Structure 1
Amino acid sequence: MKEDFSAQPWDERDPSPWLALYLDQSTPLPDAVKAAWLRDCSSGSRQYLLPFLRPLARTSIILIQVLKVFLPRRWAHSRLLHRLLAFSMNTFVSPEANWLIMRHFHLGSQVLSFVAANAPTPVQTTPLEPTSVDDIKDELFLKHDLNLFNFVIRLNKALRAAGEELRPVPEPDFSMVREPELKLEDMPRGRLNRLDLQSAIEIYTPVYQLLLTDNDFWRASNSLQLDETVAIYCAKILASPEHLVMLNNKHPLVPLSTLRAGHRLVLHGLSTEMLHCLLMRMGSGQIPLPARELARMRQAAEMADSACAPTAGA
């Protein structure tokens, strides 16, 4: 597939679905990210390998769940897991897939920092900003899941203690929202780096389950349903609920089976990219800030009311 999708020939009797998706602007995604995503989606690995991998991976999840009945409850090898993940990403996963995975840690950290910076109470965050695939060895996937749940707990404890809640912020702080300093060109490009993102995730999910405790695996699976929770936080700050339309991992109060965790993880990554892109565009002024317009309307209404109010002694 060509690097520049917009340069692809257009045959009206045989239009390319990838060209249509690339040119479509109904959802917020940077062109470079969308191009990487579509190159990965249109790869031979995803087309021919994924249909065989997915049922095998889901069968493995069931068998491992049975095996876990006979293993000690705290049996886990998190460091081994992350070394295996780093090795396979360096050796087998495509540059586009690796780039999107590495971006996800940065984007997720920035979104949580945005919520924290615009909350009415101070909230601690623990950003994860890996610079190379080898940084995965530092139990990065596990820390990512822990960070998300700990942030939700910290934020809501602080809000409850202060009797506060998230509300529209006319001038939000976007200073932490930026493009990660990660380049697609720097991702591993060996002869075997051909595995697409969805196939890699389907393979990783049962390995993740095997080498972590049941509690860690279930928490990781359930964390995918917090997409809606974090998006609602942002929507409250921005006074922009319509931007929840692309969420698919809901509802957080109804835990889903782990069998579809791999597919849901892909949706989680895409929704994070879209939310981050939306924040970038709002921060740069490309998209008007609903909270700012709401504040102006309220101010105008208050001025109108004060102008119409009878003066003392009238």
Structure 2
Amino acid sequence: MQSDDFLQRAHDPRDPNPWLALYLDGSTPLPDPVKSAWLHDLASPSRQYLLPFVRPLARLMIILIQILKTILPKRWSASKTLHRLLVWGLKGFVSPEANWLILRHFHLGAQIIEFIERNAPVSVALSPLKPLTIDDLGDELFLKHDLNLFNFVIRLNQQLRAEGKTLAAVQDVDFSMISEPPLALDAMPQRALNFIDLQTAIEIFTPVYQLFLTDNDFWRAANSLQLDETMGVYAATILNTPQHLLLLNNKHPLVPMSTLGAGYRLVLHGLSSEMLHCLLSEMKQAQQAAASAVQADQPAAQPA
């Protein structure tokens, strides 16, 4: 389903299409291709008919695995096996839109972290993750993504404390790292079995993630989602735009939530990242347009 599919649909006031309403609504900042892919995924039969059965079973599995973890050695894990299973599942059964959004998420997360670091008054080391194919995720990228986020928050604030500085609004904001990821929806697997939507896939993968990681790794991954608020505060401070925190709703980082809702909150995490990246992209375009206008208004240099 492409953007034009929504726009070409006839509107019946007695039976309005909810997906058309959400596509046309501009209160949630998303690029049209992303919003189209997101809504196509939401409207899929998989999400409508499969998710209601998968979600309670997945949450039951989380409880049972938690009990199992009390018996297994504390440090037992098989991260490489986990990531091989995730890659196999994504390539074999997950929809093209969901795979595209998952790969995009790594790029957007890396760009948002770099945006904050570049506009902070201190400098810290970064480890950007920008997979170009699903196979690239096999290098333990899901686990590394969570580690990156916590490591960045720790390193940034350690350096701010060491230098006696704080994040503050920046007058000339650096948006140079913000760009569209070089990923094509058409390049995603599109076989007959690639039908599972994003939310259902995440609910299925969450207990698998829990089983193959240590209790500490899984707990940290689940609670990294609440750092959406933290990253949002950092970006809003730099931009001096607190209104951009409006649609963040992954709860307070100082009140850890149960891991049972990790799948649902992971979807919110992805959407929050997409919206923040879209806002940064719009600001970058506005900054470039303003700079071009100033340059156009300047008189041409007179010949000597």
TM superposition score category, shorter chain reference: over 0.9
Instruction: Output the CA distance in 1 between the equivalents of 2:193 and 2:140.
Output: 24
Which region of structure 1 is more displaced relative to structure 2, 255-264 or 8-17?
8-17
Report 1:151-300 matches (<5 A). Answer: 151-285=152-286
**Equivalent in the alignment of 2:145:** 144
Instruction: Output the CA distance in 1 between the equivalents of 2:261 and 2:28.
Output: 24
Deviation at 1:2, TM superposition (A): 6.2
One-letter identity of the residue aligned with 1:241: P
Cα deviations by residue, 1:216-248 (Å, 9 ceiling, x for unpaired): 000000000000000000000000001000011
Instruction: Output the CA distance in 2 between the equivalents of 1:138 and 1:111.
Output: 22
**Equivalent in the alignment of 1:88:** 89
Instruction: Output the CA distance in 2 between the equivalents of 1:254 and 1:194.
Output: 36
Instruction: Output the CA distance in 1 between the equivalents of 2:285 and 2:128.
Output: 22
**Equivalent in the alignment of 2:120:** 119
Instruction: Output the CA distance in 2 between the equivalents of 1:63 and 1:124.
Output: 39
The question of whether the paired residues in 1 share the 8 Å contact of 2:232 and 2:245 is answered with yes
Note if 1:13 corresponds to 2:14: yes
One-letter identity of the residue aligned with 2:137: I
**Equivalent in the alignment of 2:34:** 33
Instruction: Output the CA distance in 2 between the equivalents of 1:173 and 1:3.
Output: 31
The question of whether the paired residues in 1 share the 8 Å contact of 2:106 and 2:145 is answered with yes
**Equivalent in the alignment of 1:312:** none
Task: Return closer, same or farther for 1:155/1:245 CA change in 2, 3 Å cut-off.
Answer: same
Cα deviations by residue, 1:128-166 (Å, 9 ceiling, x for unpaired): 000000011000000000000000000000000010000
- Using structure 2 for the length normalisation, give the TM-score: 0.93
One-letter identity of the residue aligned with 2:109: G
Instruction: Output the CA distance in 1 between the equivalents of 2:288 and 2:12.
Output: 33
Provide structure 2 residue ranges, at least 5 long, that are not aligned to the other structure.
Answer: 291-304
Provide structure 1 residue ranges, at least 5 long, that are not aligned to the other structure.
Answer: 290-314
The question of whether the paired residues in 1 share the 8 Å contact of 2:124 and 2:159 is answered with yes
Instruction: Output the CA distance in 2 between the equivalents of 1:106 and 1:240.
Output: 23
One-letter identity of the residue aligned with 2:29: P
One-letter identity of the residue aligned with 1:282: M
The question of whether the paired residues in 2 share the 8 Å contact of 1:45 and 1:194 is answered with yes
The question of whether the paired residues in 1 share the 8 Å contact of 2:167 and 2:234 is answered with yes
- Using structure 1 for the length normalisation, give the TM-score: 0.90
Deviation at 1:11, TM superposition (A): 0.8
Deviation at 1:125, TM superposition (A): 1.1
The question of whether the paired residues in 1 share the 8 Å contact of 2:2 and 2:37 is answered with no
Deviation at 1:82, TM superposition (A): 0.3
Q: Which has the larger radius of gyration?
A: 1
The question of whether the paired residues in 2 share the 8 Å contact of 1:116 and 1:123 is answered with yes
**Equivalent in the alignment of 2:101:** 100
Residue 284 of structure 1: SS of its match in structure 2? helix
Instruction: Output the CA distance in 2 between the equivalents of 1:183 and 1:195.
Output: 19
Deviation at 1:27, TM superposition (A): 1.5
One-letter identity of the residue aligned with 2:199: Q
Deviation at 1:7, TM superposition (A): 1.0
Deviation at 1:250, TM superposition (A): 1.6
Identity of aligned residues (%): 66
Instruction: Output the CA distance in 1 between the equivalents of 2:39 and 2:55.
Output: 20
**Equivalent in the alignment of 2:299:** none
**Equivalent in the alignment of 1:128:** 129
Deviation at 1:181, TM superposition (A): 0.2
Residue 286 of structure 2: SS of its match in structure 1? coil
